[in-house]
Amino acid sequence: MITVMKFGGTSVGSPEALRRVAGIVSNTEGERIVVASAMSGVTNFLVSVVESDKIDIESVKEQFANKHLTAAEKLFEGEAMEAFMAEFDGRMAGFEKAVMADRSDPYYKDCVVSQGERFSTLLLAHVLKGMGIDARAMTSEDAGVVAEGHPLNGSANLPKTEAEMGMRVRPLLSMGVLPVITGYYGITPDGRPLTFGRGGSDYAAAVVANAIGADMLEIWTDVDGFMSADPRIVPDAKKIDEMNFGEAAELAYFGAKVLHPRTIEPVRMRHIPLKVRNSFKPEEPGTLIHHLRKPKNDLLRSVAAKTDLSIITISSAEMAYRPAMVAKLIEMVAAADAIIYSISTSLSTVAFLVSSTDVKTTLRQINSIEGYDIEKIDVKSGVALICAVGDNLLDKCGVCGDIFSAVKEADANVEMISEGASEVSLNFVVPMGKVVDVVKILHSKYMS
Binding site for Mg ion (CB under 5 A): 8, 199
Looking at beta carbons only, is 37 or 342 nearer to ligand ADP?
37
**Residue 200 touches which member of ligand ADP, ligand ASP, Mg ion, none, C-beta under 5-8 Å by kind:** ligand ASP
In the bound state, the residue with its beta carbon closest to ligand ADP is 8
Does residue 342 interact with ligand ASP by CB under 6 A? no
- Residue 199 contacts ligand ASP per CB under 6 A: yes
Q: Binding string to ligand ASP for residues 4 to 23, with x set by CB under 6 A, is what?
A: ----xx--------------
Count of Cβ atoms closer than 10 Å to residue 212 Cβ = 23
Least distance between ligand ASP and beta carbon 184 (Å): 4
- Smallest distance from the beta carbon of 121 to ligand ASP, in angstroms? 11
Residue 200 sits in the site that holds ligand ASP (CB under 6 A): yes
Q: Does 245 bind ligand ASP (CB under 6 A)?
A: no
Residue closer to ligand ADP (CB basis): 139 or 201: 201
Among 3, 10, 11, 37, binds ligand ASP (CB under 6 A): 37
Residue 43's binding partner among ligand ADP, Mg ion, ligand ASP, none (Cβ under 5 to 8 angstroms by kind) is ligand ASP
Chosen from ligand ADP, Mg ion, ligand ASP, none, partner binding at 5 (C-beta under 5 to 8 Å by type): none
Over the window 39 to 68, marking each residue x when it contacts ligand ASP by CB under 6 A and - when it does not, the resulting string is ----x-------------------------
Residues 219-278 that bind ligand ADP (CB under 6 A): 221-223, 226-227, 229-232, 256-258
* Residue 121 touches ligand ASP, criterion: CB under 6 A: no
Binder of residue 152, out of ligand ASP, Mg ion, ligand ADP, none (CB less than 5 to 8 A by kind): none
* Rounded-to-integer distance, Cα 304 and Cα 426, Å: 11
216 forms part of the interface with ligand ADP (CB under 6 A): no
Question: Which of 3, 5, 10, 42 touches ligand ADP (CB under 6 A)?
Answer: 10
Of the pair 119, 184, the CB lying nearest ligand ASP is at: 184
Q: Is 279 in the site for ligand ASP (CB under 6 A)?
A: no
SS (H, E, C) the chain: CEEEEEECCCCCCCHHHHHHHHHHHHCCCCEEEEEECCCCCHHHHHHHHHHCCCCCHHHHHHHHHHHHHHHHHHHCCHHHHHHHHHHHHHHHHHHHHHHCCCCCCCCHHHHHHCHHHHHHHHHHHHHHHHCCCCEEEECHHHHCCEEEEECCEEEECHHHHHHHHHHHCHHHHHCCCEEEEECCEEECCCCCEEECCCCCHHHHHHHHHHHHCCCEEEEEECCCCCECCCCCCCCCCCECCEEEHHHHHHHHHCCCCCCCCCCHHHHHCCCCCEEEEECCCCCCCCEEEECCCCCCCCCCCEEEEEEEEEEEEEECCCHHHCHHHHHHHHHHHHHCCCCCCEEEECCCEEEEEEEHHHHHHHHHHHHCCCCCCCCEEEEEEEEEEEEEECCCHHHCCCHHHHHHHHHHHCCCCCCEEEECCCCCEEEEEEEHHHHHHHHHHHHHHHCC
431 binds ligand ADP per the rule CB under 6 A? no
Packed helices 115-130 and 57-75: angle between N→C axes, nearest 10 degrees: 20
Query: How far is 209 from 347, CA to CA, in rounded Å?
Result: 47
Measured from the CB atom, the residue of 47 and 299 that comes closer to Mg ion is 47
Contact yes or no for 438/430 (Cβ under 8 A) = yes
Q: How far is the CB of 325 from ligand ASP (least distance, A)?
A: 39
Q: In the complex with ligand ADP, which residue's Cβ is closer, 193 or 199?
A: 199
Among 76, 95, 184, 446, binds ligand ASP (CB under 6 A): 184
154 is an interface residue for ligand ASP by CB under 6 A: no
> Distance (Å, rounded) from C-alpha 250 to C-alpha 300?
14
User: Which residue ranges make up the site for ligand ADP (CB under 6 A)?
Assistant: 8-11, 37, 199, 221-223, 226-227, 229-232, 256-258, 302
Q: Which residues bind ligand ASP (CB under 6 A)?
A: 8-9, 37-38, 43, 116, 183-184, 198-201
